[in-house]
Amino acid sequence: MSTLRLVKMQLLGTLLLMCMVAKSSALVCQSDLRRPEYTDISVDCGTSSISLAILICPVVYTGYNESLLILNHMSEQPGCQGTLDESLTPPVVRFTFPINMTNSCGSTFVTTSAPGTGIFADFSNIQTVNISGLVHSHDPTTGVVTYNTELKYYYSCAYPLEYLINNTRVDVSASSIAVRDNNGSFISTLSMELYSDVNYSTPLVIPPLGLELRTKVYVQVQADNLTEQYHVLMDRCYASVSAHPTNSTLFNLFVPCSKDQMTTMHENGESHQARFSFPAFRFVEQQNQTVSTYYLHCITRLCQVSTCSSFRQCNNRRRRDVGSTGTSESTTLSLALPIVTRNENSVSSKEEVLPSSGSDSESRMGLGITVGVLTLAVVVTSGAAFLLYRRLGPF
């Protein structure tokens, strides 16, 4: 068989395959066929998985279909193939894979460290994990040359691993043929709850008049629906008299490498929950109030299972005095309900409306003087009348 004939057969086979692809997708795209653009991919950086959506019509226009888009060269691995979603207009190809080093369809995990800034300025090592990869086209051409454009879609999700509960922001980057900025965060998996027992089974109910001083308060920060790759480690927890601690009195329950002597750590950096307890206290500045009200805030780190133990060590961590009352520039939201404690020295409402003993003595003294003066006046008047009667005699 001559070389020219072989090339013609290869070219004919390629054209037939491209016609089959175009025919199978023609009804899907109809008038949406066009050249690829930079915005053809969207990236959703979820808490347990990453989802990609690629517009299929530019792919069909270039000569491919959803089966010829390969995620990180993992065409044979179950769960890593694209799925055509025709419920949208225009339709898309979807890829979804878990955030897990052992099963992420070939994605690359890179963890970087940098000194903390802003609210995290007290910490010398703030980590960010970047998860990235590539969706590329597979050219079915078997000849020496091809007339199909190569498609490459790069994705990248950056997750910070340090959070101030209910107050955070994440940046996401993407590049190559399609670029889409997006936000991804693990913050939605985190929650903080109060309990009344060491087993963390009974939620703490704060009575209307507040907790008694020294009542044990058990605190749990938990991550739900989080990938198994990370554990929860609390770096710092503090109380403030305001729900927004800027320019507010603060009390540190614990900070890196140091804690208040009344705080007890039960679990930290060992699983999807971190736990500690402390006895209920009151702020001195609220001593004239019937109850003392304050709010809890926790700066929480998500550490990779293999590195959590190193963050619990104090060798390379910046230490902060536990008695410090520095302020935070962030607007903070924490527990929905504040912690309220009784002020045992406050005066009851009944006592407040009764007069004091000093005022009562003064009232009795004034009444006695008044009665004495009136009695003396009666005696003097009676004596004068008697003398006048004796002197003038009867009429």
- Please list, in sequence order, all residues whose beta carbon lies within 8 angstroms of the beta carbon of residue 291, skipping any fewer than 6 positions away: 209, 210, 340, 341, 342, 343
Cis peptide before 90 (omega within 30 of 0): yes
Question: By CB neighbour count within 10 A (0-12 exposed, 13-18 middle, 19+ buried), where does 90 fall?
Answer: middle
pLDDT of residue 197: 95
Q: Answer whether residue 329 shows pLDDT above 50.
A: no
pLDDT of residue 225: 80
Distance, CA of 102 to CA of 61 (rounded, Å): 35
pLDDT of residue 135: 93
β-pairing, 126-137 vs 258-259, is unpaired
* Confidence (pTM): 0.61
Residues 151 and 139 sit within 8 Å (Cβ to Cβ): no
Within 10 angstroms of residue 54's Cβ, the number of other Cβ atoms is 23
Q: Answer whether residue 326 shows pLDDT above 50.
A: no
Render pLDDT for 190-223 as a digit per residue (tens, 0 to 9).
Answer: 888 899 999 999 998 888 888 888 889 999 998 8
Q: Which residues pair with 50 in a beta bridge?
A: 45, 97
Please provide residue 111's backbone torsions phi and psi, each rounded to the nearest 5 degrees: -105, 130
Closest to 302 measured CA to CA, from 116, 129, 44, 51: 129
pLDDT of residue 155: 93
- Please list, in sequence order, all residues whose beta carbon lies within 8 angstroms of the beta carbon of residue 160, skipping any fewer than 6 positions away: 126, 127, 128, 168, 170, 185
- Please list, in sequence order, all residues whose beta carbon lies within 8 angstroms of the beta carbon of residue 184, skipping any fewer than 6 positions away: 44, 45, 46, 50, 157, 158, 159, 170, 172
Give the CA distances from residue 66 to residues 14, 81, 303, 348, in Å, rounded to whole numbers and listed in that order.
Answer: 17, 9, 36, 75
Specify the length of the chain in residues: 395
Classified by CATH at the fold level, domain 189-346 comes out as Immunoglobulin-like (2.60.40)
Render pLDDT for 124-144 as a digit per residue (tens, 0 to 9).
Answer: 888 888 899 999 988 887 777
Question: By CB neighbour count within 10 A (0-12 exposed, 13-18 middle, 19+ buried), where does 383 fall?
Answer: exposed
pLDDT of residue 107: 92
Within 10 angstroms of residue 277's Cβ, the number of other Cβ atoms is 20
Question: What percentage of the chain exceeds 70 in pLDDT?
Answer: 68
Q: Answer whether residue 264 shows pLDDT above 90.
A: yes
One-letter identity of residue 261:
Q
pLDDT of residue 351: 35
Render pLDDT for 39-86 as a digit per residue (tens, 0 to 9).
Answer: 899 999 988 899 999 999 999 988 888 999 999 998 888 889 999 999
pLDDT of residue 36: 85
Q: Answer whether residue 11 shows pLDDT above 50.
A: no
The string of DSSP letters for 122-171 reads T-S-EEEEEEEEEEEE-----SS---SPP-EEEEEEEEESEEETTB----
What is the rounded average pLDDT of the residues 376-391?
A: 58
pLDDT band at 369 (very low <50, low <70, confident <90, very high): low
How do the domains of the chain map onto residue ranges? Answer: 3-160+169-185, 189-346
Q: Answer whether residue 92 shows pLDDT above 90.
A: yes
What is the rounded average pLDDT of the residues 234-261?
A: 84
pLDDT of residue 99: 87
Residues 225 and 232 sit within 8 Å (Cβ to Cβ): no
β-pairing, 258-259 vs 162-164, is unpaired
Q: Answer whether residue 179 shows pLDDT above 70.
A: no
Residues 296 and 166 sit within 8 Å (Cβ to Cβ): no
Distance, CA of 249 to CA of 286 (rounded, Å): 11
The whole-chain average pLDDT of the chain stands at: 74
Q: Which CATH number fits domain 3-160+169-185: 2.60.40.3210, 2.60.40.420, 3.40.50.1820, 1.10.10.60?
A: 2.60.40.3210
Question: What percentage of the chain exceeds 90 in pLDDT?
Answer: 22
pLDDT of residue 2: 52
Give the CA distances from residue 363 to residues 134, 351, 353, 370, 371, in Å, rounded to whole numbers and listed in that order.
Answer: 91, 19, 17, 11, 13
pLDDT band at 165 (very low <50, low <70, confident <90, very high): low
pLDDT of residue 195: 93
Residues 136 and 70 sit within 8 Å (Cβ to Cβ): yes
What is the rounded average pLDDT of the residues 24-35?
A: 71
pLDDT of residue 91: 93
pLDDT of residue 282: 86
Look at 332 and 378; give whichever has higher pLDDT. 378
pLDDT band at 394 (very low <50, low <70, confident <90, very high): low
Q: Which residues pair with 92 in a beta bridge?
A: 55, 85
Render pLDDT for 347-368 as a digit per residue (tens, 0 to 9).
Answer: 443 333 333 444 444 444 554 5
